[in-house]
Structure 1
């Protein structure tokens, strides 16, 4: 078996790994549930390479991500559900159907028109899927995956609801809602009711995700950037403590805050 630029080679390799005769013992004991978290992890690693603009890593991570549908399709084929050809047919069919302005007679002269057509077709598809499953009338919230990161899912849920007019009128109104939810968090925390505090913090985070959407900000990406900023600044705090010969855990808040303010000030002037 030799590497190749042809995707059929990847399919053959995956089949060989899952072959009960001579296959890989680890691959043979995997199932959809055990592989699922790798699929999610690989998608995040692709996103990370894109954010770092590391195209050598991106090439590798895209390969790792590409393996995931091949892996799932191989297991599905073994169980008699579908194979990779069915997966490819389904996505090519969907792309052709959702782009009638490219593969049909309709026109879309700009990105907004193309997006509107795409969304209209998705509404039709959701209705057809609900009818096929006998679920009754479809919801605009159908197919917003439960497994999305919670912040990203909150933003997507509010975007879907906004399409039918269920939305705050402007950024100021959402900001007022955030302030209201923060006040309710403080009241719940002061009462000592942990369940209420849990619920109100959830409401606050949901409102902040809505605020991000109204501001045109990707809430998940913004929080990820904030995490990276905190990490970088805390590395500075630890390094400064070492320079001063002080253990971080013994330095005290005032000293640590001083180190933190150093890197904050440096950030603002850079």
Structure 2
């Protein structure tokens, strides 16, 4: 199992250059000898956002959006070429409400997706993350601003025996195999897992794939689950946290599980690979 190809969503930078998600993607592609598709979207604004003082305002705005997307793609191409990684850049035009669907479309036909996120989380980045996570069927790597460099020396994998956790660990297998240290962590409060749910059994499964993982439990205490997981990852000096992403349907839409909601709404200090 390898990362043969993946997609990264590029966010324009006012100062030019490549955003932290793009930088992380180039490092990942170089490390795994994989091909990266860099998606630069031309996001069409609502009519109320168009400057009516400009002659033919709609065309003027669209031209500027097109120029910004091309500039973003060209910046990525320059850095990727220098790093000697295989890549392609694509530009897609969509309305703001459809940007997540475009990102998910590309992710479906690749091994995973990468997205650089900022804090506070802008609405468009949340939409991209939610749609890619829930609709693509592929793992999503969220990259915070302070960690633009890809690394896979130490990985912490969250385990609660749910299908989402199973899919996250399966999707992270290429990284787990390359890591020097892997720790499978369960956040518990005196809960006993059956054998088929055990983190120890998951470590045995990983060992059969050549991954020497250890298992530990973490007391939740007064902390939220995302905080407990992030504390565990930081205590191990992890480069990557692997976890399942959860949501269930209601009459009013999607309600995210507490761990997923906590990750999307709060700052975190390291990249997180999630799967639904």
TM-score range for the pair, normalised by the shorter chain length: under 0.3
TM-score by length of 2: 0.23
TM-score by length of 1: 0.24
Higher relative contact order (CA 8 A, sep 6+): 2
Between Structure 1 and Structure 2, whose CA radius of gyration is higher? 1
Indicate the structure with greater helix content: 1
